[in-house]
Amino acid sequence: MKDIEISVSFKDVMREILIKWKWLIVSAIVCAILGNCFGIFKDYRAAAKKVIIDVEKGDESVLQSIETAKKPLSDDEIADVYSSVELYNDYRELFRSAEEYLTNSIYVKVDYQHAPTESLLYYIDVNTNDSIEGEGYEKNGENIALAFRDTVLSEIDYDFLCNQFGTKEEYIRELIVITAESDTLSIIITGIDEEQCELMQKICKKAVDAAEKQISSGFPSYTINLVSDDFYYAYNDDIYQRKVGVHDNMYAARANYLSIENTIPANQKKLFSLVLEYSKLSSTNEIENSGLEKEDVESNSQEMVSGSMVTRRVSYVHKKLIIAGFFGGILLAALIIAIRYVLKPVIRVEENLSEDMGQTIIGLVPANAEGSAYDSCIKEISTNARIAIKKNGFENIYITGVTDKNEQTIADIKEALKEFCNTESGACIVKDMDSLSKFSECDAAIFVEKAGDSNTDDVIKEINLAEQSKVSVLGFVFMK
């Protein structure tokens, strides 16, 4: 059989593309997002370079202004200015640290008058008959309790709690207080609510269990028992004192740095402002007269650039790239669909069977044929089949095909021919050995194939199998 040239029309390709319209939309959206991301990335790189250049120019300008402002001042006055700037920055840092603590600390946000509290008390029972080598060891649970305290603190899963509460480890450690006295281990947990306390209680119990497995060598035999596990609400004076103390320190630091700024002599204000500006640019609180050199600015320019300085200059919506990405995505998806459609080795039109393979077409079933239109197609197929069967004297007819989307049509043709001759049907004879066995016992075959689904190679194989089995091919039914 000669090689088949698959016929593909532009109309068929466009139909396939439109059928898969969802892929076009998905591709368009994805490419539009990628286009915008590319624009943001490009903007960010350009902005970062520009910021570095601006910072270098700005630092050089500030340095020149500082040198100019120094000229009318004595050495002692210049030293006083740098000292004032350093002290100003120290107080500013104290204020910033206190403000950050009050913003992020869970502990100071707890209602101190009605603080949710979880208390765990463990008792350590030591076997005093055990002998331990070494001097100065007391045969009680005190040393074991101290070891438990340190080990439990190291075994607590702070990373998990940080993720759950959305804060740093230092703020979690404030909520869990572990003390060891004599032969007892006490764990006091404070939280915003009962749910927080319960979660931390579970984590602490796991830590105690883990510590118990670790602590054995160097100590007499012992047992550790949980003697109380209580949840309650209580007045917590420590929270109140902590909050008041941090507030006082914050306001005192603010008052001090404002006082420094307001009490600078008039002839030193210009130099103070310039040195303070430079200290903010270089992100350092240690300002020395001898440290303001040009080469320092050049070597540290990139370190001075903060993320906010760059992101402020970045555009996060690039309309042209979004539009280009959107339509580019549609074209890309359409191209991929078209290429896959063209390269897919399937029967597309009836000419592939009649002209390329030299087979007889005994009937056509249009796409989406329903009702009376479909019944007419089946009647025409059965009439053409009866004429061929009667002409050739066939008695046993087998109906099959390589596609699995032809079952209903095969059943309808079989029903239409059952009173005229013996009919059998089955799965693809290329893939199903039982079907092939039944096929070889028949006189003739009707193959039912579907456009865009029946594999060309399999159709050729089923024709060759018919020749080898000496089964006549009555004709093909082509489902468009």
How distant, in Å, are the alpha carbons of 86, 90, 212, 246, 268 from that of 260?
A: 11, 11, 55, 21, 12
* Residues 357, 422 within the same domain: yes
Which residue do the tokens 């130099």 mark?
A: 271
**pLDDT at residue 294, as a whole number:** 43
Contact 185, 82 (CB under 8 A): no
Query: Of all residues in the chain, what percent are helix, strand and coil, respectively (each to 5)?
Result: 60, 15, 25
Q: What is the pLDDT of residues 55-69, one digit of tens each?
A: 555 556 777 788 888
- 317 and 370 share one domain: no
Q: If you write DSSP's letter for every residue of 376-417 in order, what string do you get? A: HHHHHHHHHHHHHHHHHT--EEEEE-S-SS-HHHHHHHHHHH
Of 344, 369, 392, which residue constitutes the final position of a domain? 344
The answer on 13 and 99 residing in a single domain is yes
List the domain range (segments joined by +) for residue 326.
Answer: 1-104+240-344
Distance CA(277)–CA(271), nearest Å, equals 10
What pLDDT is stored for residue 290 in this prediction? 39
Residues 330 and 414 in one domain: no
| Residue 300 pLDDT | 47
Same domain, 269 and 325: yes
* φ, ψ (nearest 5 deg) of residue 134: 115, 150
Whether 137 and 218 map to the same domain: the answer is: yes
Do residues 221 and 133 both lie within one domain?
Answer: yes
CB 224 within 8 A of CB 124: yes
Domain count, the chain: 3
Domain boundary among 306, 326, 344: 344
Shared domain for 254 and 340, answered yes or no, is yes
- pLDDT tens per residue across span 139-153: 445 677 888 888 899
Residues 249, 187 share a domain: no
Q: List beta partners, residue 229.
A: 120
Q: What local confidence, expressed as pLDDT, does residue 41 receive?
A: 86
Low-confidence ranges of the chain (pLDDT < 70): 1-8, 50-60, 127-142, 216-220, 281-313
Q: Which of 235, 257, 287 is the last residue of a domain?
A: 235
CATH number for 230: 3.30.70.1130
Same domain, 131 and 91: no
Are 336 and 396 in a shared domain? no
Residue 377's Cβ-count burial label (10 Å; 0-12, 13-18, 19+) is: buried
- What's the pLDDT at 310? 61
Q: Residue 431: which CATH number?
A: 3.40.50.300
Classify strands 115-126 and 222-234 as parallel, antiparallel or unpaired. antiparallel
- Tell me, yes or no, whether 18 and 53 share the same domain: yes
